[in-house]
Structure 1
Amino acid sequence: MPEPHVLVRLSSFGDVLLTTGVVNYWYKTSRLQFHIVTKENFACIFENHPGVKSIIPITQKNLNCFNWWKFCHRLKQEYPSSPLIDLHVNLRTALLRHVWSDKIYSYSKMSLYRRLFAKTRLSLFRQKLLSKNVPQRYISALSKITPSPAELTPKIFLKKNEISHAAEKLQLIGAGSEHIAIHPYATHPAKTWTKDKWQQFISFIENQGYEWLIIGQDKRPLFPGKNKDLTNKTSIRETGAVLSHCKALITGDSGPMHLASAVGTRVVSLFGPTSKEWGFYPAGLNDCILKTRLKCSPCSLHGKSKSTCHHECINSISFDQVIKALKTD
């Protein structure tokens, strides 16, 4: 077996999830294993992963400038003969690269092309960005050949007891394999419908004969007190296990979108101010992205919108479009 590599991706939820398929690909093709450095909130994502040798969780205290400097030196001393793969590429990880004594690998975020496309909307820059999604960009750190997006979809390795426990939980609330999971939340409000619209949508799909349940984390659950609203009631891995029993997930551009992909559940994703060009899209063979192309779109990398924006991009996606996507295999 080759020497395990140290791989760094600290955050965010979706970005960390996108590394799991890349790690799985490297493990399957080269038998490479990795010491994963990530924020403690996301460490559980890598549990039971065959490509993961160890998980090194980073606390908020570690991220303090002086503490991070000490951590970098301690990590170098602990893994003196391990190559470093930086899949975060920011000032903090540049510090780690600076002190590292073995080989260092990194990747291009295509930041210049993202800025140029955001400013000009020119097809030249669009095509360059669409040539590789984020996992394909990640894999360029070590691999000269670029696999297809479907070969690099996220992968979480659930344990049998996690899957069976989720099945029991769903049985208790009267949910099963034909249920549609819905994630109606977003870090930035512009990336999803309003809560009123989600409630209207759920009434709409109920009339179409669909069964549903809610997943995610939010201060204001969509249907507080209802059994089928699992908001704030499941951990990351528990949510993944619940999703593994569902027919599909409907969501905005979000972390749970990648979590569903990681357990093999079909995704129907609503894209508003963000865009497929940024590379953070679900890439399963049966996944579907719904997007209204406007002159002002995309207007944001992470989903923040201007105060003058009326959110036409997300609000123009109709209920009928979502139902049609659900029916399309």
Structure 2
Amino acid sequence: MPKHRARFLATLMASLLVAWTAVACSTTSPDDGDKPVVLTTFTVLADIAANVAGDRLQVESITKPGAEIHGYEPTPADIRRAAQASLIVDNGLNLEAWFAQFMDDLDVPHVVVSDGITPIDITSDAYAGKPNPHAWMSPLNVGIYADNLAEAFAELDPDGADGYRANAAAYKNELAAVQKDLVSSLDALPANERALVTCEGAFSYLARDAGLTERYIWPINAEQQATPQQVAAAIDFVRDNRVPAVFCESTVPDKPMQQVVSATDARFGGTLYVDSLSEADGPVPTYLDLIRHDVDTIVAGLTGTSPAS
């Protein structure tokens, strides 16, 4: 067994023992009278889930705003929280590389919110052929997320079933409006400006929805830095297609993309949000804010205009 897995399992078992002992030794649960806790793997899912849950459930995120989700390392506190949750929500599609191990010894139900979406495969590097996990970057897909959450919440809390389904339907109406704005905002761009070049290949679903050609430096955020070959390929694409602007995500350094800017005529179009919301007083405190921010930033960058306020 690899050393890192052995350490993880030892931490997991110790944390679960503490949590279970605390529960067993209590004459009444510390959560008596509280709402059921729904624990999501990252902040974007927490916001989507909260829109469906309304005021009947307490929705929390394991990771904090700004966290990089792919290679997250759960803490003992995360494991204790999960052991006492009523439901755990994950994205699936291999996004949370740590999640299967995290759930191994937890007797807590969980729902994979991406079930039912049509995945887009990654086409390059070691991840080629695997599904791109960033399905929430399509508002249309998030409508499927909302339906999956409504059914999971209805099973958890049957008395609230009608409310969860009504909340999901209302949220899907908001998502449809964002989708319409996305398409109309980008519709007039000329062919060479209909290209979305980013650090991570996190925009396949958004690019599909908007009719954009997607290029990126690396397919999935990982611990290794961008290779010279990856940067060179991005430079060649930007030069060959006269792409006016390039972008990078908030959870990774933009230094590799700045190399692309230095080697081409493209400008740096701005920072996009994908894997994490901001704090409540930041630019993208909700999922709908995130998508609107990204669309405004992409349009402004590609057209050379000021972002919408």
Question: What TM-score do you get using the length of structure 2 for normalisation?
Answer: 0.37
Question: What TM-score do you get using the length of structure 1 for normalisation?
Answer: 0.36
Higher fraction of helix: 2
